[in-house]
Amino acid sequence: MKIICLEENYLDSELGRACMPVALEQAPFLGDWGKTVADGHNPDRLPSAEVNSRLSMFAWGWHHEAGIHLLRLMLSGAFDKYPNLQVISGHWGEMLPFWLQRLDDRLPLAATGLSRTLTRTFKEHVYVTPSGMLTLPHFKFIYELMGAERILFSVDYPYQTLDGVKTFIDSLPVNKAEKEAIAFRNAERLLGITA
């Protein structure tokens, strides 16, 4: 698979028009999350440099920023302009799915000017991966929200161990066809992979 650096006008490019999915990935948060979290509470008890680093990256910051980026993309009208655009969002959707109802309630169509709710846009244009967060409560929420056909299995290797991956798939409370869809068939369909 060819790795492509996305340019500013990616969606208007030949590749963008070919409907290749876009995978949103985290980038380092440039601020001081520890200071932001502790401000006004106890300035004498700021997190250590290690805690601040972890908080700003893989513990919270990356996921927060990726979720905000996807929300901005949704609010920009990109999915109305590019109705075939599909996005892959890791870590169970980077927090966003858990706030969709609140967003719909507080950002109605009259305010956003979009053609559909943020929840509907998410369900129609986003594929979600666990990215190594092998947790049944998260799975159940996403499954109920989106169904098996919008879940792509992934791990967060080398950042997380592969221990328990097969057990997680095997233990999902869905039928064999849905397990296969999550494990590999959805990715085959979305990415055009043939055996």
Residues in the chain: 195
Closest CA to 2 of 192, 159, 167: 192
The structure's pTM equals 0.83
C-alpha span between 122 and 79 (Å, rounded): 9
Mean pLDDT confidence for 173-192: 96
Mean pLDDT confidence for 178-192: 95
C-alpha span between 93 and 125 (Å, rounded): 12
C-alpha span between 85 and 89 (Å, rounded): 13
Mean pLDDT confidence for 132-158: 94
* pLDDT score of 1 more than 50: no
Which residue among the candidates 39, 80, 156, 170 is catalytic per the annotation? 156
> What is the overall mean pLDDT for the chain?
83
The H or E element containing residue 171 is helix 165-171
Cis peptide before 83 (omega within 30 of 0): no
Percent above pLDDT 90 for the chain: 53
DSSP strands (E only) in 54-114: 87-89
The pLDDT value recorded for residue 3 is 34
* pLDDT score of 126 more than 50: yes
The H or E element containing residue 179 is helix 176-180
Active-site residue, 156 included: yes
Q: Which two tokens stand for residue 184?
A: 């590999």
Cβ–Cβ under 8 Å, residues 62 and 90: no
C-alpha span between 97 and 141 (Å, rounded): 9
| Lowest-pLDDT range of 31-40, 60-69, 110-119, 128-137 | 31-40
pLDDT digits (tens, 9 = 90+) for 11-60: 666 655 556 677 766 655 556 655 565 555 556 666 777 777 777 777 77
Q: Which residue has the higher pLDDT, 75 or 31?
A: 75
